[in-house]
Amino acid sequence: MGFDLFGKSAGVIGTGRIGRTLIGILRGFGMEIIANDPFPNDELIAKFGVKYVDPTTIFKESDIITLHFPLTPESHHLINSESIDLMKPGVMIINTGRGRLIDTRALIAGLRSDKIGSAGLDVYEEESEIFFEDLLGQTLTDDVLARLLSFNNVLVTSHQAFFTREALLNIARTTLEMSKPFWAMARWTMRFAMGARTGAAGSRNTGFAFFRGRLLRVAERRSNSRVQVSNGGYVWHDIQSHVCQDSMWCLTSWARVVYINTGS
């Protein structure tokens, strides 16, 4: 038998982008939200009445605990036998973050004693050898996972909470958009390499200058307000001014250039 979400308390550990989105959904069901994050979000406090508390309070007061936190040495096995002992009887635990946030053996013990009423897991401690492999027709040799799957109040999915048509399209678009500066730089890198093979000092210097100028253009698109260029190593005095000036040439359409120690 299930239970109403209205009026229940949800403990959200990690209020990054995913955690923030979930909080809006849970508030729509009329849940009270308590949260933990190293960087409390003022907007969540003002808009949804979120209360930021320590993890111990979340363990003690939450009807549902949901994890959206990265794996760090501090967060490893955040859910363990000690924290489970603090929880309400029948608590629901959801983990779509990282598998090793939960001590799976402690989770199983909590499920067996009915301290944990249910669990929803999209991640698992040893998932790399199982979730991303085609094991159809093979015997499951992971005894811990096999025991976990034997509970009728546990739902395990193979790290595929993101697996929707819309999410995959967004991932593809974002990846292509983020790769544009790389391909822009790659074209200039190729031009620089071709110039270097000519054996002409002027071609090499000009190629390098244009390449560096192109890097500055990419930096400008990233909304940097100030870009500083420094020369390191042994630079021939008679070509240094040309390299610096040619680099700055790429910037003159959008920036005020002040030459310092360039021979100009």
Active site residues: 98, 127, 159
Torsion of CA 44, 95, 87, 75, to 10 degrees: -80
Measured CA to CA in angstroms, residue 176 lies from 16, 220, 248 at distances of 24, 19, 29
Separation between Cα atoms, residue 214 and residue 220, nearest integer Å: 10
CB atoms closer than 10 angstroms to residue 175 = 9
Helices and strands counted in the chain (H then E): 9, 7
Separation between Cα atoms, residue 217 and residue 235, nearest integer Å: 23
Separation between Cα atoms, residue 262 and residue 243, nearest integer Å: 9
Cβ–Cβ < 8 Å for 206, 249: no
Cβ–Cβ < 8 Å for 179, 139: no
CA quadruple 105, 109, 112, 115: dihedral positive or negative?
A: negative
Which residues partner with 118 through β-bridges? 92
Separation between Cα atoms, residue 17 and residue 4, nearest integer Å: 26
CB atoms closer than 10 angstroms to residue 25 = 10
